Amino acid sequence: MSELKEGDKAPDFTAKDQNGKSVSLSDHAGKDVILYFYPKDDTPGCTAEACNFRDNYQALQQQGYVVIGVSTDDEKSHQKFSAKYDLPFTLISDDEKKIVEAYGSWVEKNMYGKKYMGTARKTFVIAKDGSIRKIISKVDTANSSQQVLELIDN
């Protein structure tokens, strides 16, 4: 499968959120969506990123954005993570790795010389028409929402 580029149609998906509710990208047709992929619930970088989206959630909502986080953790893990940090947005469980693969976020990683497959931290800004407006591959976890808000201002 070829890598997604800005301007491509965002792949639709359906998966369960932290409350076991089925969520599809197409549920948000006509809205701008921030779809962010992160490696693991309750780890330092992922917590910083989620809390930054939480802290700027109202500003993003005022701009008309829906925020959806995706990792391969299960619903129970997402539920705990969401409750612990009072996250006001949807976290999707992609334990079958269909969404991370569709978005090119399931990649080979290398830690201490050991290679393994894992989720690459990436943010996709999806326009109302379902096209990918921006792909942020170098995510600044402490300022992830600012990276998106800067795009909106430009």
Q: How many domains does the chain fold into?
A: 1
Considering the domain boundaries, does residue 128 fall inside one? yes
Considering the domain boundaries, does residue 81 fall inside one? yes
Q: CB–CB of 7/131 below 8 Å?
A: yes
Considering the domain boundaries, does residue 54 fall inside one? yes
Q: 3-state class of 46 per DSSP?
A: helix
Considering the domain boundaries, does residue 98 fall inside one? yes
Considering the domain boundaries, does residue 107 fall inside one? yes
Considering the domain boundaries, does residue 6 fall inside one? no
pLDDT tens track, the chain, 154 positions: 568 999 999 999 999 999 999 999 999 999 999 999 999 999 999 999 999 999 999 999 999 999 999 999 999 999 999 999 999 999 999 999 999 999 999 999 988 999 999 999 999 999 999 999 999 999 999 999 989 888 766 5
> From CA 23, how far away is CA 21, in angstroms rounded?
6
User: If you ran DSSP here, which 8-state letter would residue 143 be given?
Assistant: G
Considering the domain boundaries, does residue 89 fall inside one? yes
Q: Which of 10, 46, 70, 126 is catalytic?
A: 46
Question: Domain range for residue 71?
Answer: 14-153
46 is catalytic: yes
Burial of 153 (0-12, 13-18, 19+ CB in 10 A): exposed
Hunting for tokens 């109202």 — which residue is that? 58
Residue 42 sits in a domain of what CATH number?
A: 3.40.30.10
